């Protein structure tokens, strides 16, 4: 198993780098990974000074022994996604859910839609398979409250810290009704895409 962070690198700048470092540090402590922050600083500095032009998807992986690796890829120009609702199994280990690890089988799907939107047994809307959910209703923007039940994304946290995003739970039945009545707009938020429109297929 690896820990990893997926970030937006543009013209030599890594967006929300401090948030990613903080999350990786916390996960490595929780899962007993050997992690030296100085290795992170050395590697990201090398990446930033090497790739000073263009926009990339930067994936940093951490091995249990502390080895850091990275992969760069172009960012596809996709701004709208489709998603369907899927109930998440209650058998998934909490440590896998709340940390960004390579153990992601519980997020696999057939890709009939681009994404899946997960909800729990109690009907609480949780997250997409590649990021958090943001809902626009009236003049408010909100995202589910965190209760050790999904991955806290760096984009989500940065928007909360800026006062742009509130936390409020929503149940699946209410969510479906508001989608059908066109009372809400739904967005994917993650550190790579930042904010993307999502069309929910009910």
DSSP 153-185: -HHHHHHHHTTS-EE---BHHHHHHHHHTT--E
> pTM, whole model, 2 decimals?
0.95
113: closest CA among 180, 41, 199, 179?
Answer: 199
Instruction: Provide the β-strand partners of residue 133.
Output: 188
Residue 59 confidence (pLDDT): 98
Measure Cα distances from 136 to 39, 179, 199 in Å. 39, 11, 13
Low-confidence ranges of the chain (pLDDT < 70): none
**Are the C-beta atoms of 155 and 165 separated by less than 8 Å?**
no
Residue 78 confidence (pLDDT): 87
Strands 68-74 and 115-119: unpaired
Given CA atoms 174, 109, 32, 28 in this order, what sign does their dihedral have?
A: negative
Residue 77 confidence (pLDDT): 83
Residue 69 confidence (pLDDT): 97
Residue 76 confidence (pLDDT): 84
Q: How many CB atoms lie within 10 A of CB 49?
A: 9
């Amino acid at each position: 198993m690896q820990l990893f962070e997926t970030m937006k690198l543009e013209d030599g700048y890594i967006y929300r780098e401090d948030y990613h470092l903080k999350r990786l540090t916390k996960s490595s402590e929780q899962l007993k990974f050997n992690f030296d922050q100085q290795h992170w600083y050395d590697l990201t500095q090398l990446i930033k000074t090497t790739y000073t032009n263009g926009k990339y998807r930067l994936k940093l992986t951490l091995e249990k022994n502390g080895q850091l690796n990275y992969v760069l890829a172009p960012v596809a120009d996709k701004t709208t996604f489709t998603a369907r609702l899927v109930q998440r199994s209650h058998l998934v280990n909490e440590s896998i859910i709340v940390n960004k690890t390579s153990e992601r089988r519980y997020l696999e799907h057939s890709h009939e839609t681009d994404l899946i939107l997960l909800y729990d047994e109690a009907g609480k809307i949780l997250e997409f398979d590649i990021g958090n959910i943001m809902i626009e209703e009236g003049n408010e923007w909100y995202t589910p409250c965190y209760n050790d039940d999904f991955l806290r994304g760096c984009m989500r946290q940065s928007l909360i810290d800026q006062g742009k995003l509130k936390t409020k739970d929503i149940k699946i039945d209410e969510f479906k009704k508001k989608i059908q009545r066109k009372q809400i707009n739904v967005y994917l938020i993650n550190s790579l895409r930042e904010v993307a429109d999502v069309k929910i297929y009910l």
